[in-house]
Amino acid sequence: MKCRVCRGPAIIDVRRHNANFCVEHFIEQCERQVTKAIDAFSMIAPGERVLVAVSGGKDSLALWDLLHRLGHHAEGLYLGLGIGEYSDESGVYARDFAAARGLVLHEVDLRRDYGYDVPRAAAATRRVPCSACGLSKRHLFDEVARQGNFDVVATGHNLDDEAAVLFGNVLRWQTEYLARQMPVLPAGNGFPRKVKPLVRLSEREMAAYCIVTGIDYQVEECPMAAGNSHLGYKEALNSIEERSPGTKHDFYFGFLDRAAEAFREGLAQDAAALSSCRDCGAPTPSDRCAFCRLVERSGGRLPEHDGHDPATATGTPVILGRRERP
Ligand code: AMP
Ligand code: FES
Ligand code: ZN
Ligand code: ZN
């Protein structure tokens, strides 16, 4: 197996591109794919401040590493979700990564800062844990981005993730979700821009990237997600991809090119109807946001704030290696 670029010994085959790469040219290939995604979807403009949501897993740590290599100003945000040992461990990976590279990591801990955790929220809402977890993540990514004056929030969703979510949404024709399933959601109505710069790279490539660049990541998956339908969709797509390499890419990018536009109208209507949450000030379609309602139902508490700037309400992010900006 020879590297497509230098003909030296290859360490990975990327069947979807019908190409093999050595270490050096595989890293270059990952950088190129991220740059291509950023440029094609205008994800990050030069000089913008990026908040990378890092879980301690391979995708988000690889993303932080790649953005840093590509010269973007990228600080990390880790959320302690309180999912037993899984969360304790994931925080260690995120902190060690930041400390070893002198990067800034912000932290919010659901239990310390809001008096609840994901298992408690799941029990209180009687829904699957991922739903309370996802709601908390989305709210806190936005909140910390506002607080820290970040232009954009980047997450480590890769091609496998996006194709599986698209597959699930298409199977049930969830048109309102299809309208939002873009690698970029523009800023607006108090929300920062959201971007997914890894959409051109697969899960396997991200694991390989971490191995060849020496990134130590949490291999274990979230125990609360075990057996959920998202994992089933991933398995189904994996078996199709195995027989026809490139199917995931064509499915996802074909949707973006030829179908996504048709679902967009709903988005504009949603945005027009937003007001401010009476407790935390976050943009919401009702008078209290879903996050504040979740915290209350879970027996937690909102941090005290001065009543003017909702951003000061979140737990103070912990900064490693540098002082927080004023
Ligand atoms: P998941 O929802 O677990 O598939 O994760 C998707 C993306 O959300 C990851 O790639 C991260 O960017 C972000 N993320 C997940 N868990 C956390 C966490 N505990 N703290 C910060 N970001 C996270
Ligand atoms: Fe959110 Fe597992 S990480 S439920
Ligand atoms: Zn090579
Ligand atoms: Zn609120």
Domains of the chain: 41-215+229-323 (3.40.50.620)
DSSP bridge pairs for 79: 108
pLDDT tens string 34-78? 999 999 999 999 999 999 999 999 999 999 999 999 999 999 999
- Number of Cβ within 10 Å of residue 120's Cβ equals 18
Q: Which residues does a 6 A CB cutoff place in the pocket of ligand 1?
A: 53-55, 59-60, 77-79, 81, 137, 155-157
Write down the pLDDT at residue 264.
84
Per-residue pLDDT, 272: 62
Q: Which pLDDT belongs to residue 303?
A: 78
* pLDDT beneath 50, residues of the chain: 306-326
- Tell me if 315 sits within 8 A of 108, measured CB to CB: yes
- Cα–Cα dist 151/168, whole Å: 30
Question: Closest Cα to residue 154, out of 239, 27, 292, 61?
Answer: 61
User: How many CA atoms are closer than 13 Å to the CA of 239, on its beta-carbon side?
Assistant: 5
Residue nearest to atom 14 of ligand 1 (CA): 55
Among the bound ligands, name the one nearest to the CA of residue 133.
2
Question: 301, 146 in Cβ contact below 8 A?
Answer: no
Q: What is the pLDDT of residue 121?
A: 95
DSSP 8-state assignment for residue 227? T
Nearest ligand 2 atom, CA 83: 2
Distance in Å, CA 65 to ligand 4 centroid: 32
Give pLDDT, residue 105: 98
pLDDT confidence of residue 269: 59
Question: Which pLDDT score is estimated for 54?
Answer: 98
Q: Is the CB of 128 under 6 A from ligand 2?
A: no
What is the Cα–Cα distance from 230 to 237, expressed in whole angstroms?
A: 11
